[in-house]
Amino acid sequence: MRLTRGALIVAAGALTPALLLTAPAFAVGTPSPSTAVTATSQTDGTPVDEMDEHDLRIAILRILADEDSGRGVTREANAALDGTVEDMREFLKTGYRLAQAEDDRVAIARILADPDSGRAVKREAGKALDVNTPEALRAFLETGHRLAQAEDDRVTIARILADPDSGRAVKREAGKALDVNTPEALR
């Protein structure tokens, strides 16, 4: 079965550029397949219950081909591919979402373990873990982490401005970053 899966992955990898270039463009802001809850085929909108075995395998292989798929998603996707058609359907309906949540918990734990994580980042990560829903975990990783980091960066900049050893150029640039007030400028 491993050899077949390998051949399918190679085939899916070879066909992906052609499929992506011929697929219709979507509006900006549409979530990527790795972060969206997969309930339909990525190409034609077919509900999972109506997909045949081939389409189910292709949908799962697309998930595996995504470089953002973590260990939990990879493990569960491979288990689904080794199983029955119903196992593949169940993975696409709920298993993917749950495996992604597992990977998101690991990512948040790594953020919490990072000694450079500030108070706001740790607070928001803790809130996401307390809620412990796949949506809350994903929301923290997609936007909450960045916004909490910006809050921590504002505090750091305020400390730099308050430091009597900070020179005029440092204070000028810190003030500019605060005036722009975007997470990127603050970082």
Residue 71 in this model has a pLDDT that exceeds 80: yes
pLDDT at 40: 39
Integer Cα distance of 124 and 115 in angstroms: 16
What are the pLDDT digits (tens) for 91-109?
999 999 999 999 999 999 9
Token couple for 172: 């000028």
Handedness of CA 64, 70, 74, 77 (dihedral sign): negative
pLDDT at 42: 43
If phi > 0 it is left, if psi is from -120 to 50 it is alpha, else beta; for residue 70 that is: beta
Are the C-beta atoms of residues 19 and 43 closer than 8 Å to each other?
yes
Per-residue pLDDT, averaged over 41-67, amounts to: 81
- Flag the least confident range among 5-14, 106-115, 135-144, 178-187: 5-14
Residue 126 in this model has a pLDDT that exceeds 50: yes
CA distances from 126 to 31, 106, 109, 132 (A): 24, 13, 9, 10
Q: Which comes out higher in pLDDT, residue 96 or 23? A: 96
pLDDT at 176: 86
pLDDT at 13: 53
Are the C-beta atoms of residues 76 and 64 closer than 8 Å to each other?
no
Confidence of residue 46 (pLDDT cuts 50, 70, 90): low
Residue 26 in this model has a pLDDT that exceeds 50: no
Residue with tokens 């972060």: 35
pLDDT at 170: 85
Output the average pLDDT for the chain.
Answer: 79
Per-residue pLDDT, averaged over 119-144, amounts to: 93
Confidence of residue 76 (pLDDT cuts 50, 70, 90): very high
Per-residue pLDDT, averaged over 61-72, amounts to: 92
